[in-house]
Amino acid sequence: MTSESGTGPPAGTAAGDISLSDLKHFETAGRLTIDLKALKENWRDLKAMSPHAETAAVVKANAYGLGLGNVVPALWEAGCRVFFVAILAEARRVRAIAPEAKIYVLDGLAPDAHHTYHLHNVRPVLGSLTEIETWSAHCRETGEKRAAAIHIDTGMNRLGLTAEEVEVLAGRPELFEHFRLSLVMSHLACADTPNHSLNAYQVALFDELRDKLPVAPASLANSAGTILGGPYTHDLVRPGVAIYGGRAVAGRPNPMRPVVRVEARVLRTRLAEAGTTVGYGAAQRLKRDTRMAILSVGYADGYFRAAGSTDAKPGGVVYFADHPAPIIGRVSMDLIAVDVTDVPNRYVNTGGYAELLGERFTVDDLADRAGTIGYEVLTSLGQRFHRICKDG
């Protein structure tokens, strides 16, 4: 365990004592390679898109599944100084890695949590009058003007102050005397769909409501808002998924570099006759005599069961060098079968690897086949891979 322990195993370590990075390749489900150079370049590209704003990084959910211990040092090196997490436990891990970072916790201030925020020098994103009163009172008692953000709801209807609550708050300026309002933020619901009418509505409402509060840096943009630019960027942008190579805006080419590569081991190859079926449920019947490779990854590793293939619907595709091999039948917990009939023999070797996710078949390609989004693919990547970070 490293110094960042306490909230779960550090990146690259399975629960228990054995680090997957100490295992031989045949002891794991495969390789998960995180390209830290691509990660840093993605962040720098996002920064270049909004030159007048500060560029933060959202690293909630263990940095979208890629490991806080891998991602935070790389982003710090790239120049990132502001990090957003969802929960306080994540903030403590970021604090252990980056002692100087500004860290915001999106979930806000739970009752009794203010001492923990104070102790770890973490900033709550205050989303209700009660939270603001609590933080203000805490800062008054300690005599320290600690920073916090205020979250205004402009259409998401989840967290944040309503328009009426902003009015009430505007009538209570004394609350702002004791703490430092370091950010006023809101969150876009539909920025992945640039033409959605809610986008312009949210920008207008955000600008109207934050005018009622003391002057403070403002932030609205997630990855999609950062890429759309213009009226969304304000003083600070909060990209998440785009840093990790995911597609933020639908219906246009993804400008980011892939960061994740997942490879499964080839356990064996075999021949199966036309007319037979493969795997649970006999979900797909072979149309031809088929050469198959059985691979070491399944839904327990985050390869979604919904990406299986049936007679009616094609599923995911894996790659042997540049040669595609479609999945046959259902995705099992630990295994998938792929059709390698058209792949030259020399690329398909027992003990070798097949690429499941990478440049050819991306995180978003898998998401599309499985009826989900790249975010869910990233945050579902399992703990049985040998995780490797490369930098350049």
Ligand X SMILES: *Cc1c(COP(=O)(O)O)cnc(C)c1O
Cα torsion angle, 91, 56, 121, 207, sign: negative
Cα–Cα dist 13/384, whole Å: 9
238 lines the binding site for ligand X (CB under 6 A): yes
Identify residues 207-226 at the interface with ligand X (CB under 6 A): 222-223
Residue pair 262/381 in contact (Cβ under 8 Å)? The answer is yes
Question: Taking CB positions, which residue lies at the least distance from ligand X?
Answer: 240
How large is the greatest C-alpha to C-alpha distance in the chain, in angstroms? 78
Cα–Cα dist 267/281, whole Å: 22
Cα–Cα dist 364/261, whole Å: 13
In the complex, what is the shortest distance from the CB of residue 40 to ligand X, in angstroms, rounded to a whole number? 17
241 vs 295 by CB, closer to ligand X:
241
3-state secondary structure of 263: strand
Cα–Cα dist 38/221, whole Å: 22
Task: Indicate if 353 belongs to the active site.
Answer: no
Catalytic residue among 40, 47, 60, 102: 60
Torsion of CA 138, 144, 148, 152, to 10 degrees: 60
In the complex, what is the shortest distance from the CB of residue 128 to ligand X, in angstroms, rounded to a whole number? 15
158 annotated to bind ligand: yes
9 vs 239 by CB, closer to ligand X:
239
Cα–Cα dist 239/187, whole Å: 11
In the complex, what is the shortest distance from the CB of residue 85 to ligand X, in angstroms, rounded to a whole number? 10
Residue pair 196/230 in contact (Cβ under 8 Å)? The answer is no
239 lines the binding site for ligand X (CB under 6 A): yes
102 lines the binding site for ligand X (CB under 6 A): no
315 lines the binding site for ligand X (CB under 6 A): no
Task: Indicate if 347 belongs to the active site.
Answer: no
239 vs 245 by CB, closer to ligand X:
239
In the complex, what is the shortest distance from the CB of residue 100 to ligand X, in angstroms, rounded to a whole number? 22
**Residues 119-158 as x/- pattern, contact with ligand X by CB under 6 A:** ----------------------------------------
Question: If we measure between CA atoms, which residue out of 153, 363, 189 comes closest to residue 261?
Answer: 363
75 lines the binding site for ligand X (CB under 6 A): no
Ordered DSSP codes for 366-377: HHHHHTS-HHHH
Which residue in the set 71, 106, 169, 318 belongs to the binding site for ligand X (CB under 6 A)?
106
Chain centroid to CA 142: how far?
36
Cα–Cα dist 204/318, whole Å: 45
In the complex, what is the shortest distance from the CB of residue 186 to ligand X, in angstroms, rounded to a whole number? 8
241 lines the binding site for ligand X (CB under 6 A): yes
- Give the H or E element holding residue 389: strand 385-390
58 lines the binding site for ligand X (CB under 6 A): yes
Of 17-25, 33-41, 195-203, 239-247, the window that binds ligand X (rule: CB under 6 A) is 239-247
113 lines the binding site for ligand X (CB under 6 A): no
Residues with active-site annotation: 60, 280
Q: Which residues sit at the interface with ligand X, rule CB under 6 A?
A: 58, 60, 106, 187, 222-223, 238-242, 248
Residues making up the annotated binding site for substrate are: 158, 333
